[in-house]
Structure 1
């Protein structure tokens, strides 16, 4: 039993079958490498390259900081520490102070924890470790 031939490809349907088994595209453009897989030693292709070997890996521990000091290993000096904290007025707290400026209540946002950001630093090397924003 003979199977029917498969339907022609779109290119063959529009332009006919390729002549002499040649591909349906033209010769390479001047300065372009020829079609087909690259051959070592062929102009325009260098020797095969090898993938770079991975270097030593670095482990990063992500710590979520809170409003209080926390115990951790400093990623800079590698000491086991309790972070030092420093409170700083947040932009919302500063806006509250400016809105209340002139009244006796303008100092209240400085005392409210939700109006202050807390920066965590290493007490040994003084490196900045992160920040808590309420």
Structure 2
């Protein structure tokens, strides 16, 4: 077999010795000891370039001092005129008013009794507005 090719040595892979494999089947190389560990020099790459800061405009926020604005006036800061105010309250018909009216009518409300929830402020939602600029600050919904 003159023309049989011989196995050339592959220059990409270094030859491995039999002693680098463990005696437990020869599947994994043994971990290096202290004498075999090499320390790499610190990285000396390009300098870090920082971008200029990005300016972000703040969002419009509603600053409510008393977070429990219910059906009575409360302290708040108006976002339009930036003043601390005691809110004006106005009752307006809401979901509870209409549901109460419908239930009374369904149960046989006679002689216009289904209109009673529209006369009771306890059944209505409450709108809180600024007394200076009339800006709507909050709506307290009963339902």
Q: TM-score scaled by structure 2?
A: 0.49
Measure how far apart 1:94 and its partner are.
0.6
Match of 2:28 in 1: 15
Q: Structure 1 stretch 122-131 or stretch 64-73: which is displaced more?
A: 64-73
CA 105–77 in structure 1, closer or farther in 2 if over 3 Å, else same:
same
Aligned-residue Cα RMSD (Å) equals: 4.1
**Counterpart residue number, 1:11:** none
Q: Which one has a larger percent helix, Structure 1 or Structure 2?
A: 1
Work out the number of aligned pairs and report it.
103
Structure 1 residue matching 2:82: 3-state secondary structure: coil
* Matched residue SS, 1:16: coil
For residue 138 of structure 2, the aligned residue among 121, 125, 130 is: 130
Query: In the alignment, what sits opposite 1:112?
Result: 120
Q: Relative to structure 1, is the Cα distance of residues 77 and 106 closer, same or farther in structure 2, using a 3 angstrom cutoff? A: same
Cα 1:60–1:81 change in 2 (3 A) is closer
- Residue 117 of structure 1 contacts residue 132 of structure 1 at CA under 8 Å; is this kept in 2? yes
Tell whether the 8 Å contact from 1:40 to 1:48 is kept in structure 2 after alignment: no
Partners of 1:108 and 1:127 in 2: CA distance: 30
Aligned twin of 2:50: 49
Structure-2 separation of matches of 1:108 and 1:39: 82
Measure the CA separation in 2 of the matches of 1:60 and 1:53: 26
Q: Return the index of the structure with the highest Cα Rg.
A: 2
Q: Tell me, which stretches of 5 or more residues in structure 2 are unaligned?
A: 1-26
